[in-house]
Amino acid sequence: MFLLNRMQMLWYVGCTQKSCAKFTADKFHEYALEIMVKKAKQNDDKTCDLPFCLLPTQKKLDWNCCDTCEKWCHYQCVNITRRPQGTFECPICSM
Summarised one tens digit per residue, pLDDT across range 39-57 is 656 555 677 888 778 887 7
Is 92 part of any domain? no
Is 1 part of any domain? no
Of the pLDDT bands very low, low, confident and very high (cuts 50, 70, 90), residue 67 is very high
* Residue 26 scores a pLDDT above 80: no
**Residue 85 or residue 22, greater confidence:** 85
- Shortest CA distance to 29 belongs to which of 71, 84, 73? 71
Helices 6-13 & 25-42 angle (0-180, nearest 10): 30
Domain interval for residue 20:
6-78
Is 93 part of any domain? no
Number of folded domains that form the chain = 1
* Residue 37 scores a pLDDT above 80: no
